[in-house]
A and B are shown apart, each in its own frame.
Chain A
C-alpha cells in the first residue's frame, strides 16, 4: 500500500515537511537558523550550477562526433586552465561568504537569557541561571524561552559526548566532558521546536530529544514563576499515597521533587514533570497513563536507560502515577 502510493506522496511529503517541520533546517524560526538557511540555498544554487555544467560538458563530450586529435592540446589547455581558475574563484567566494556567515552568528548580548544544558545518557538537564540564587531552577528535556530575546546556552556533559541541535533555531554544538561550550540563538516566532542529540552517545542515542518552547514574554514569565514554585501538594488520598511511595521507594534516591524529601540528582528533576509535554526525553507524551507505563517497565520502552524497574503492585502504580501526573 505504502509502496504503491509512494511516487505520489513523495513530492508532497517533501514540500510539506520542508515548510512545516518542527525539527527542520529548512523551516527557520530564529535569526541564526534563517541566516544558515540562506547560506545553504546559496551553496545549493552555486553547487547545482557547477554540477549541471560538468554533466552537460560530459554529455557533449560523449555525444560528439570527432576525429581524434582534432583539438590541439594548447586550445584544450586554455579551456582547462580557465575552468581551474573558475574553480578557484568559486571556492574563494564561498569561503568568504562562509566567514561572514560565521561572524553573523556569534552574538554577545548582555541581556541574554542564560541557561545551562547538561547532557546525560540519555536526557537533558536544564538549569536556568540567575545572579540571585532563589531565581535559579532546574528542569529537564524542555526549554522555555521568550520570543525575541537572545538565549545563551552553556553546554556541558555529565558522561559522554552529546550534541545540542534544534535545527529550526540554530546549528548544533557538542557537549563535551571536561569542556565548556556555548551556543546562542534569538527566536523570532512563537512555537514548539524539537531537537535531538546529534552525536552518537550510546545505546539510546535515538531517544534523546528535547523541546524548545518559544512563547510570549508574559507566558514565559508565568511559566518561570510556576517552575520556581515548589511541587504541587497532593490532593486526595491516592496522591498522598503516591507521594509517600515516591519518597519511600527507590524513586527518591535518583529524582528530586522540590518541597518534599525526594532529593536525588542522578535522574531528571520531577518537581514539575507533568508541566512538560513529554517524558523520557521525547519518548512519550505526558499523561497519567504514559507515566504509569514508563514507571511499570522503563527497560522495555527505552532499553538500557538508567532507570531500573521498581517493583510495584497495581494500586501502588496507580497511586504513584496519580501523584506524578498532578505535578504541574
Chain B
C-alpha cells in the first residue's frame, strides 16, 4: 500500500506518537457551537442520535403511562376522547418513527464503522444532515402535540379517517410530514451503512468474516431502502389528497381506501423487521462475548437474516385479514407469515446452542439476552397465532394484538437494545455502567413488562378492542386493566433506573479499558472512547474473531495519508484494498441544508407553493455543500 510518489504525509513514515498527533489534528472536531453544528464524526452523530432517540423513548413512555392511567378503570376521565386519540397516535408514531427505527440506525452509525475497522462512515455529511432532519421532524411532531394539534388518526393513519373529509385541521398533515422527515433521515443512514459495509471493510474482512451485527445492519439497511419509499409515496398521496384535492383514496372519485392499507403495510410489516433484525445482531454480539465462543452456525444465522429480510416483504396482508380480500390470497399470506417463524427459529436455536456450549459469564448484557429469549419467543408464537386468518378474525384489533406486538417489540427489540447499551456504553463513553443497578434494571423491566402486557392477551379474548378511550363497567375489564396499569409502574421504574444509571455512570462510572468484556470484534481494538480517527492504523483481519484469534497484536495496514482525511476502500466480497478515498471534512452546510429542508417541508403543510419557493434555499445550501474542493477524490 505504501507509495512513495504520493504527496503529503503517509502514516507509514511516522512513529506512533507522531502519527496519532497528526491524525488527531486531521480528524478533529473543533470545540464550541461551530464544532457541534459542523461535525461529521460518525461517533459524535451516532451518540447524538442515540441520546435523542432515548429522549423520545422516555416521552413516548410518559404517553403510555397516561393511557394506562385512563384505562385503569372503566369510564375514567383522565383524558378526553380527543386527547386520548392524540396520545395513542403520538405514542405509536413516536415509538415507531422517532425511537425504534432511529435508535437501531443510530447504534449502527456508531458501531458499524468501528466494527468494520474504518475511520468514518460513508457519506458523513449526509449522516450529519440525516440527524438534523430527524431532530427537526421529532420537534415538529412534539410541538404540534404541545399545541393540541397532534395527529389523532392512529400511527397507521387509515383513510378516509385521515383524508380531507374526516381529518379536520392540520393534524393528519403533521403526521404525513413527520413521515417525510424521518424517512429521509432513515433512507440516508441506510445508504451510508450499505456503502460502509460493502466498501470500507478492513482488509481481510471477507464476507464470511463480517460480524453478525454488521450483517444484520446490512440486511436492515436494504429493508429500509426497499420499504421506506412505499410509505413516502403513500404519505405524499395523502398530503396531495388533503392539500391540492387529488383523489387517490376517495372511492367516490375512483380512488381506493384499501390502496392506502396495502401501501402502508407493504412498508409497515418490513418496519417490524427493520426494528427487530438489528436487535438480532445485538443479541448475537452479546451471546458470543458472554458465552466466550463464536455464535454457533454463522452461515445459518446470516442466511436466516437474509431470508427474514426477503420474507418481510411477502406478508403485509396479514394486517388486512378482515378487510374482505379473496380467500386464496389470504391463505398465501398465512403461509408466508407463518414461515417467517422458520428463520426466527433458526436464530433462537443457534443462540441456545451457543449458550449450551459456551462458558457463560452472567453479566448484565447476558441477563438481557435471557429476558429477550423468554419474552420474544412468546411474542413470536402469538405471531404465529395472528398469522392464521380465521384466528385473526377474532383477535385482530384487540388487546391480544397489543400484547403480541409489545412482546415482539419490547421483548424482541428493546431488551436487546438496553443490553446492548450496557455492553457498548464503555466503548461510547469510556466508562462502565453499574453491574448492581443493571441487575435491578433487568429484573424490573422483565417482571414489569410481563405483568403489564400478559393480561392484555386475556383482555383481547374477553372482547376488548384497541384504541378505545374508555369502556363500560358492564364489560368486566376493570380488574385486568387495573392490574396492567399498576404493573406498568414497575416497568416505568425499570426504565427510570436505567436512565439514572446512564447519567450516574457518565459522571462516576469506573474508567473502561479498551476491551472490558474480552470481546472479539474490532470496535474493542481501539481506546474507549475511540479517537476521532478510530484506529491509528487500519487493522487487517485474518479471521471472524480477530481479537480472539490474534490476541497479542492485530496486523495493520499502512499507506494512508495523515494530513488529510483518507479511508481505505476495499472490494465487496474479499475486502482486498482497492483505493484510498478522501473522506469529507467537517461542514456547516448539512446543518443549513437540513434547516432549509425543514422550513420547506413544514410550510408545505399549509401551502403547496412552499415546495416551489422553499426549494430555492435548499438549492443554495446544497451548492455550498457540494462546492468542489480541488482535491483528488480518491487514488487507486
Contact = CB atoms under 8 A, between A and B. Distances in A.
A197 interface: yes
B82 interface: yes
Given A23-B463, A40-B461, A163 B324 contact: no
Interface in B314-369: 322-324, 327, 330-331, 334-335, 338-339, 341-342, 345-346, 348-350, 352-353, 355-360
Given A21-B462, A173-B393, A206 B468 contact: yes
A104 B73 CA distance: 38
Nearest to A53: B377
A314 interface: no
Contact of A62 (B331, B360, B381, B469): B360
B73 to A, nearest CB: 8
Contacts of B160: 159-161, 177
Contacts of A60: 356
Contact of B467 (A9, A23, A171, A205): A205
Contacts of A121: 166
B394 A167 contact: yes
A181 B326 CA distance: 11
A24 interface: yes
Contacts of B508: none
Contacts of B382: 47
A26 B349 contact: no
B187 to A, nearest CB: 28
Contacts of A43: 384-385, 388, 391
Nearest to B338: A91
B503 interface: no
Given A80-B296, A200-B467, A69 B462 contact: no
Interface in B296-326: 296-297, 300, 322-324
A202 B463 contact: no
A95 B482 contact: no
B355 A91 contact: no
B356 A64 contact: yes
Contact of A200 (B293, B466, B480): B466
Contact of A13 (B378, B467, B476): B476
10 closest residue pairs by CB, A with B: A171-B393, A178-B251, A23-B463, A206-B468, A47-B381, A181-B324, A87-B345, A98-B388, A61-B356, A101-B390
A183 B256 CA distance: 21
A54 interface: yes
Most chain B CB inside 10 Å of its own CB: which residue of A3, A6, A99? A99
A108 interface: no
Contact of B166 (A68, A101, A160, A196): A160
A44 B293 CA distance: 35
Contacts of B370: 58, 62
A280 to B, nearest CB: 12
B548 interface: no
A181 B322 CA distance: 10
Nearest to A91: B338
A200 B469 CA distance: 11
B397 interface: yes
A70 interface: yes
B240 interface: no
Interface string B242-264: 00000000011000111000000
Interface string A61-89: 11010111111010011011001100110
Contacts of A80: 296-297, 300, 346, 349-350, 353
A190 B272 CA distance: 43
A123 interface: no
B389 interface: yes
A131 interface: no
B391 A303 contact: no
A118 to B, nearest CB: 15
A133 interface: no
B161 A177 contact: no
6 contacts: A2-B479, A58-B352, A167-B394, A174-B323, A177-B251, A181-B324
Contact of B356 (A24, A40, A54, A71): A71
A42 to B, nearest CB: 9
Which secondary structure dominates chain B's binding surface? Answer: helix
A206 B81 contact: yes
Given A26-B461, A71-B357, A205-B468, 8 more contacts: A23-B462, A25-B463, A97-B388, A102-B330, A167-B394, A194-B463, A198-B465, A206-B471
A199 B323 CA distance: 10
A58 B373 contact: yes
A10 interface: yes
Nearest to A26: B461
Given A17-B476, A171-B390, A206-B470, A51 B378 contact: yes
A21 B352 contact: no
B582 to A, nearest CB: 44
Contacts of B252: 178
Nearest to A44: B385
A163 to B, nearest CB: 6
Contacts of A182: 324
Nearest to A66: B359
B148 interface: no
Interface in A19-55: 21, 23-26, 33, 35-36, 39-40, 43-44, 47, 50-51, 54-55
B355 A61 contact: yes
B322 A174 contact: yes
Contacts of A61: 352, 355-356
A27 to B, nearest CB: 9
Contacts of B460: 25
B396 interface: yes
Nearest to A282: B472
A77 B81 contact: no
A36 B154 contact: no
Interface in A148-190: 159-161, 163, 165, 167, 170-174, 176-179, 181-182
Interface string B468-494: 111110011011101100100000000
A245 interface: no
A317 to B, nearest CB: 24
Contacts of A76: 296, 353, 356-357
Interface in B266-300: 292-293, 296-297, 300
Contacts of A102: 327, 330-331, 389-390
A98 B391 contact: yes
Contacts of A84: 342, 345-346, 349
Contact of B397 (A91, A170, A176, A198): A198
Contacts of A55: 374, 377
A112 interface: no
